[in-house]
Amino acid sequence: MRFSEFQVDKIKQSANLYERICQHTTLRRAGRQYSGKCPFPDHDDRNASFVFDPIKNTFRCYSTECDRAGSIIDWMMEFEGFRSFLDCIRDLNGEELVQNIGQDNERKGPVYKRQKMEDRIAADQEKARAAGYRIFKAGHALSGSVAETYLRETRGLGDIGLPEAVLRFASDLPFWAEVRKGKFEVVHRGPALLAAFQYRDNRFAAVHQTWLKPDGSGKAEIVLDDGQQLPAKKIRGPFMGSSLRLGPPAPIMGLGEGIETCLSGMAHGLSCWAAGSLGNLVGRGWVHGIREPHPKRIGQRLPTTQPDFTSVRMDLPYRLRSAIILADSDSKDLDGLKAELERAVRRARCEGRSARILWPPLGMDMNDWIMKERRDAA
Answer yes or no: is 122 within a domain: no
Last-in-domain residue among 114, 129, 147: 114
CA dist 32 and 53 (Å) reads 7
Answer yes or no: is 21 within a domain: no
Number of structural domains, the chain? 3
* 126, pLDDT greater than 60: yes
Residues 297 and 205 in one domain: no
Last-in-domain residue among 222, 238, 254: 238
Residues 220 and 248 in one domain: no
**Where residue 266 sits, what CATH number does that domain have?**
3.40.1360
The pLDDT of residue 114 is 46
Residues 151 and 285 in one domain: no
Residues 12 and 95 in one domain: yes
Residues 224 and 261 in one domain: no
> Could you report the per-residue pLDDT of 227-276, keeping only the tens digit for each?
888 889 999 999 999 999 999 999 999 999 999 999 999 998 999 999 99
Answer yes or no: is 37 within a domain: yes
Domain span at residue 313?
240-378
Answer yes or no: is 120 within a domain: no
Residues 287 and 326 in one domain: yes
Please say whether the beta carbons of 170 and 210 come within 8 A: no
The pLDDT of residue 183 is 78
* 76, pLDDT greater than 90: no
Please say whether the beta carbons of 162 and 148 come within 8 A: yes
CA dist 8 and 10 (Å) reads 5
Mean pLDDT of 303-325: 92
283: closest CA among 365, 329, 350? 350
Residues 41 and 93 in one domain: yes
Answer yes or no: is 53 within a domain: yes
The pLDDT of residue 172 is 94
CA dist 270 and 265 (Å) reads 6
> Could you report the per-residue pLDDT of 77-121, keeping only the tens digit for each?
878 777 677 778 778 865 555 555 555 555 444 444 445 566 777
**Where residue 92 sits, what CATH number does that domain have?**
3.90.580
> Could you report the per-residue pLDDT of 136-146, keeping only the tens digit for each?
999 999 999 99
Sheet order of strands, 244-245 included: 244-245, 272-274, 252-256, 322-326, 354-358
Residues 378 and 289 in one domain: yes
81: closest CA among 314, 302, 276, 237? 314
Answer yes or no: is 254 within a domain: yes
Residues 249 and 378 in one domain: yes
Answer yes or no: is 22 within a domain: no
For residue 240, give every residue at least 6 positions away whose Cβ sits within 8 Å of its Cβ, in sequence order, or none.
Answer: 81, 279, 280, 312, 313
The pLDDT of residue 113 is 44
> Could you report the per-residue pLDDT of 33-71, keeping only the tens digit for each?
899 999 887 777 878 889 999 888 999 998 877 778 889
Helix or strand holding residue 357 (H, E): strand 354-358
Residues 252 and 229 in one domain: no
Last-in-domain residue among 238, 257, 273: 238
Residues 43 and 98 in one domain: yes
Please give the C-alpha separations between residue 375 and each of 158, 290, 340, 358, in angstroms, as whole numbers.
13, 43, 32, 21
* 366, pLDDT greater than 60: yes
Residues 166 and 287 in one domain: no
